[in-house]
Amino acid sequence: MHRNGFSLTIAGSDEDLYLGAPGCGLLPLHIVARRCDLQRIGATASRAGAAAQAPFEFSVDTAGVRIFVTQLAPDPAGMRSPRAHANLAALGHGLRALSAPLGLGLPAADLLTPGGWVMQTVAAVHGAAPAGEDAALALIGRGAGSTPAGDDMLVGMLAHAWATGGASAPLVTLLRGLADRLPALTTRASVGYLRAATRGEFGSHLLALVRSLPNTQCAHVLKLAGRVTRHGASSGLDTLSGLIAASEAAAAIATDAAQRAATAYS
């Protein structure tokens, strides 16, 4: 049970399905149900728990439902624009101003320190360096909760990778190669979110934020980021930190490549 809905275990699947109320945003693998139905399910779950009964079962009739795919369209040119860079810098500044620790136990300012272990790991994963798979494995399943902080960071990183490079982005290719191993590495909920992210499918709030970066004023971008950060205990903040870490790692990789090219030319 979560704040706005329930994670459902589906027979024969290694991914969870989320059942939530309308008006709270969409997640990948998400069924939106009427609030009255959710209240009945919640009441039944509470009674079953109080009576120490086995998990109860119910069915969902999906006949005639509308299906949405929350997929992010790649926009490499837009993500390279001055406005996108300015908005990402503002998000990074705001995140670093938070003093509370995120899901990995560090404040964002420490988590995103250039040269620190987290940023080194992000750079290796994002750049698909030879050590990229080991770096990804260091994040997958790291942290507590139904979606560990390392996985939430990877979802944010995949959002940046998809926006800048689409299905051929190195990070997307790397995580797709690990898709079959995920059930042994992390939670059922994270398995679904990570696999969806390699298809370019993200929660609607994160999708709206990334779409806004190239063409929206900073004040509205920060408002959209606030919606992302309200997900879970720290999941939204961890996802946002992954997005910022990936953008900064990509910028550092590009700068290093330009400097090496200039040195070779001279």
With CA atoms as reference, report the closest residue to 190 among 229, 230, 234, 140: 140
Tokens describing residue 23: 């008006």
Task: For the sheet with 30-32, list strands across it.
Answer: 5-9, 16-20, 30-32
The whole-angstrom separation of Cα 170 and Cα 172 is 5
Q: What is the pTM of this model?
A: 0.89
pLDDT at 238: 95
What is the predicted pLDDT for the residue at 214?
Answer: 96
Q: What integer pLDDT is reported at residue 261 of this predicted model?
A: 72
Q: How many angstroms separate the Cα of 160 from the Cα of each of 43, 80, 156, 195?
A: 40, 11, 7, 15
Residue 142: per-residue pLDDT: 94
What is the pLDDT tens value at each position of the chain, 266 positions in all?
Answer: 677 788 888 778 888 888 888 888 888 888 888 888 888 888 887 777 666 666 677 777 778 788 888 899 999 999 999 999 999 999 999 999 999 899 899 899 998 988 888 888 888 887 656 678 888 999 999 998 889 999 999 999 999 999 999 999 989 999 999 999 999 999 998 999 999 999 999 999 999 999 999 999 999 999 999 999 988 888 999 999 999 999 998 888 777 666 777 777 66
CA 91 to chain centre: 16
Given this model, what pLDDT does residue 223 score? 96
Contact in structure between 161 and 172 (CB atoms under 8 Å): yes
